[in-house]
Structure 1
Amino acid sequence: MGPPMNRPSGGDAVPDFPQTMGHPRPLWMLFMTEFWERFAFYGMRWALTLYIVAEFYAGSGEGEAPAARVYGAYLALVYAAAIIGGYIADRVIGYQRSILLGAVVMSAGLFMIAYPDQTVFHIGLATVIAGNGLFKPNISTMVGKLYSPTDERRDSGFTLFYMGINAGALIAPLLTGWLAAKVFGTDAMPDYKVVFIASGIGMLISLAWFWFGRRQLGIVGRPLEGAENKGRVLWVLLFVLASVPVYYFLLAIDAAMLQWILTAMFLILCGMIVVEGFREGKVARDRSIAMLIIFVFNVLFWCFFEQAGSSFNFLADKIVNRDFGGWIFPVGWFQSVNSLAIITFAPILAWLWLRMGKRNPSIPRKFGIGLIFNGLAFLLLMFALSSLVNAAGLIPFWTLFMVYVIQSIGELCLSPIGLSMTTKLAPSKLVGFAMGGWFLSTGIGNNLSGIFASHVSGDTGMTVASAQAGYTQGFWILLIGGVILFLIAPLIQRLMHGVK
């Protein structure tokens, strides 16, 4: 039996949970479950492109472009799979079972990619995608189900959960980077396989944490009435296993072809949202159009932000001076700078928006600021690659470090408000579908990030000249995009009909 139910006015039934530190006790269980899942995800993410080049292209620069395209496609498909996983949890087996099944599948995939065979590696990546689709969207939904819609602690609870995400993302690259370069390998020849094994172990810890802690949730996240049959879990598992070859195929095809597929999906989704907006009236129509305009700029942001795991890795490995008097700063550790910056600057920006009061920038202007900060990071790289290259052909360590910091400030202006904005602007009958559109727009940006990174590396691998040319192009695209969004922000704001 779960805890007794109380029914807050105007909301869904929410159990009367015991409280720990002012929040429902299951929040802390979900916090640690997500911590270890993010440890697994970010622990392996930094090593993917470097491993592909080292293992399957014998370290040749010719492997950088295909590695970047695989990385972009992988991230894009992770977001696309989240749409399917959310539907399965909603309609078929419930959230608790989706999370458990997703964790099992992800763990298997992470251990598979440690096997030094290119086919097994790609099957492993496809398996991680399939498992992540069941896990990632549903654990966030579970947090929301711990609070009634009118509970004032709701935003605070999500903030704490977000800190769990960033804590896992902060620690994972530090530990796995140290294991790869200092314990099992060397700075010159890191042992990337141990990174994937460590990530697999992290995912197993996440699975165990949720398995033993899920009793705290009571009825929250259990299957809908009439759908308790455990045979459904077997059918979903068979469906997930059948989806692995599909993801494998999408990883293997040309990134440009995948881009066409994702774009077609996005256009169909946009069309359905606009049609529903017209049905619901002028206000719903205008808000739908405003939301879709912002989705397009969201694609642009993530295309360049996600250089973090692809071209910035090659930059760090080949062109950044990481030598501190004989001690070499591991490449993977750069990936922790984003989380460190998020944890540092999130409360500062939250205070700043509050302090600005009525002068607080509108949603489209905040998106514009995010794009411009992303562009400023590329401007710093342009300067470093043109004016700060030393005799050994290396740029100073601090430049790439600050690139991650500047990008993180841009992310804070854009990412936290995206999901909230979508729920407010979408037609009432298609809110979940529109949320899928938000994730899909992010996924399209991620696939484009791999295509862009492959251009930066070229056919023979990244050089100072190729990096400078590519990042200069990135700066101008982001700057122009940010300025355009700033200029049309008043129009978008009018289309939003008072949504803040």
Structure 2
Amino acid sequence: MSETITTAAPAAPDYPQMLGHPRPLWMLFMTEFWERFAFYGIRWALTLYIVAEFFHGDAAGQAFASRTYGAYLALVYATAVFGGYVADKIIGYQRSILVGATVMAVGLFMIMLPNEQLFLLGLATIIVGNGLFKPNISSMVGQLYAQGDSRRDRGFTLFYMGINGGALIAPLITGWLASTLTDTPMQQNYKVVFGASGVGMLISLAWFWIGRRQLKGVGRPTADQANRLRVVYVVLGMLVAIPVFYLLMARAGAVVLQWLLTALFIGVGAMLVVEAVRNGKVQIHRVIAMLIIFAFNVLFWMFFEQAGSSFNFLAQNIVDRQMFGGWEFPVGWFQSVNPVAIVILAPLVSLAWGWLDQHRIEPSIPRKFGLGLLGNALGFLVLMYALSSAVGSNGQIPFWPLALCYVLQTAGELCLSPIGLSMVTKLAPVRLVGLAMGGWFLSTAIGNNLSGLFAGHISGASGMTVASALGGFTFSFYLLAGAGVLLFLIAPLINRLMHGVK
């Protein structure tokens, strides 16, 4: 086998520049901004809605709600594998994004219907649409930069600001909607939240439809993908897939889903290795390095995504949210702490990576991931302290530990998530970048499903308590800290496998 990669990536078009980056980056930025508004607009409300609507507020429903949320989130990311393949091989990136956005909008309006089965069917529709949208818009960001362009990591960090700009305003607006419609039961207020998110998804669709001409052909279907009947076949396939994903959530359960996701991950890894073999020893090593990083990514998201499940129940029942003048801080607004921190910290992190690069001391990809795991661990350390030493006479902890936990997790996220997106575009075989991006999201999916199982364990049969939260979050800290230290120790080996990719 050759020591070099034989397949060259296509050159990026010569785009007009805006603020030091290709102008289409900012169009993709806003498209993702509104899609993330839709996604995060419902994220904080899903578990609370399930308990309120289908369990009539009984805390015994927390475990079921957490498992359902984990399965939904896992499948949202798992379908990225198929969406990446569809874009690579069948209809191209632009068409995939347009079809996916349309289907997601339909699903968001469906979950407003007050029936458990229709609610789960709506979630399945969102899952299938997201599979076509999410990996492919991220892949297109990478295609705006030529191979070896040092701005790529910084471009992905800026793109990540678009993600989190939408995530910032969504809980504020939808949380405000839910807290101000006080003359109706909360489950009715949550339906307004879902409708507002559907409107956000329609804006995302319109933004990309109008702005896609800026891409100068990047992401358009290739000559053998041009037949529009292929789009019809993809839509028919999605209609078949929706009831399948409904059954996975409603019937199979999170444990069965975990086995299926693991098997799928192994299959994707095998496909990437087979493709790497065709391109030589260097590409094989790079794929192996990428798969090792994927494994650590699972751990990060298993605990980070407590934000949508156990942290919500913590905020609702164990955090003292009374503020000045008797005003109560809305539960949903905690979800904005993470994106606020990202909007503030992301430019600083991007500048820091650039400064360190200029001085040739920028941390390698595995060390950045190690920092991410340690940042996540510190967030749980703060909660450990609060739950063991700061519980008041009312059985609640102060407001600040949960808020600080979100900030520390955010610092970890910035060292890991945007770097992971960029890493895939650098290390993946050129012909399967979309599939590899799907593999990245699949590793996130496995972590998300585990997050639901873990949150269900913390809540138990009767709901979360101070003792159960302390036990669960202590375990989280030690596992994350150990994984972060291990990654630092094996970073030199992973760097050798990357063959110069930084």
Normalised to the residue count of structure 2, the TM-score between the two structures is 0.90
Residue 290 of structure 1 aligns with which residue? 289
Distance in 2, Cα, partners of 1:150 & 1:359: 18
Letter in 1 for 2:389: S
Moved more, 259-268 or 381-390: 259-268
- Does the Cα contact within 8 Å between 1:299 and 1:444 map onto a contact in 2? yes
Residue 148 of structure 1 deviates from its aligned partner by: 4.4
Q: Give the letter for the 2:172 counterpart.
A: L
Closer, same or farther: CA 275–37 of 1 in aligned 2, 3 Å: closer
1:237-278: per-residue Cα shift (whole Å, max 9, x none)? 111111101111111212111001111122233344445556
Once the two structures are TM-superposed, the CA of residue 348 in structure 1 deviates from its matched residue by: 2.5
Counterpart residue number, 1:255? 254
* One-letter amino acid matched to 1:371: L
Distance 2:292 2:11 in 1: 36
| Residue 198 of structure 1: aligned partner | 196
Which deviations, in whole Å up to 9, do the C-alpha atoms of 1:410-467 show, x marking residues without a partner?
Answer: 1111112213333444456655443332221111001100000001111111111111
CA contact (8 A) 1:381 1:400 kept: yes
Which secondary structure state, in structure 2, belongs to the residue aligned with residue 114 of structure 1?
A: coil
CA contact (8 A) 1:181 1:189 kept: no
Higher relative contact order (CA 8 A, sep 6+): 2
**Aligned equivalent of 1:31:** 29
* Distance across 2 between alignment mates of 1:228 and 1:369: 44
Contact conserved, 1:422 with 1:431, CA < 8 A, in 2?
A: yes
1:11–1:150 contact (8 Å) kept in structure 2: no
Aligned counterpart for 1:379 among listed residues 373, 378, 381:
381
Q: 1:368 aligns with which of 367, 370, 384?
A: 370
- Deviation, 1:365, is 2.3
Aligned CA RMSD, in angstroms, stands at: 2.6
CA distance in structure 1 between the aligned counterparts of 2:279 and 2:19, rounded to whole angstroms: 43
Confirm whether residue 100 of structure 1 aligns to residue 98 of structure 2: yes
Deviation string 1:315-350 (CA, Å, 9 cap, x unpaired) is 001111111031111111111111111122223333
Change (3 A) 1:227 1:482: closer
Q: Which amino acid aligns with 2:332?
A: G
1:47 aligned partner = 45
Give 1:269's aligned amino acid.
Answer: V
| Change in CA separation of 1:468 and 1:192 when aligned onto 2, cut-off 3 Å | same
Cα distance 1:213–1:324, how it changes in 2: closer, same or farther (>3 A)?
same
Matched-pair identity in %: 66
Change (3 A) 1:364 1:293: same
Q: In the superposition, relative to structure 1, how do residues 185 and 174 fare at CA in structure 2: closer, same or farther (>3 Å)? A: farther
SS in 2 for 1:337: helix
Count of aligned pairs between the two proteins? 491
Shift of 1:51: 0.6
- 1:213 equivalent in structure 2: 211
Partner of 1:452: 454
Q: For structure 1, which runs of at least 5 residues remain unmatched after alignment? A: 1-9
Match of 1:237 in 2: 235
C-alpha separation in 2, matches of 1:64 and 1:116: 19
Residue 206 of structure 1 deviates from its aligned partner by 1.7
Query: 1:236: how far off?
Result: 1.6
Alpha-carbon distance change, 153 to 271 in structure 1, aligned in 2, over 3 angstroms: closer
SS of the residue corresponding to residue 210 of structure 2 reads helix
Paired with 1:192 and 1:182, the residues of 2 have a C-alpha distance of 11
Report what 1:402 is aligned to: 404
Q: Which amino acid aligns with 1:473?
A: F
**Structure 1 residues 50, 348: CA separation in 2 closer, same or farther (over 3 Å shift)?**
same
Give the TM-score normalised by structure 1.
0.90
Q: Which runs of 5+ in 2 are unaligned?
A: 1-7
**What is the correspondence of 1:299-378 to structure 2 with a 5 Å cutoff?**
299-325=298-324, 326-356=326-356, 357-378=359-380
Q: Provide, for residues 366-410 of structure 1, a one-character-per-residue CA deviation record: whole Å limited to 9, x for no partner.
A: 222211221111111111011111111111101100000000111
Aligned residue among 426, 434, 439 for 2:441:
439
Q: 1:436 to 1:24 in 2, by over 3 A?
A: closer
Contact 2:66 2:455 in 1 (8 A): yes
Q: 1:389 aligns with which of 373, 391, 410?
A: 391
1:264 aligns with 2:263: yes
1:482 to 460, 465, 484: 484
Deviates more, 1:190-199 or 1:356-365: 356-365
- Structure 1 CA distance for aligned equivalents of residues 125 and 291 of structure 2: 31
Kept after mapping to 2: 8 A contact 1:419/1:435: yes
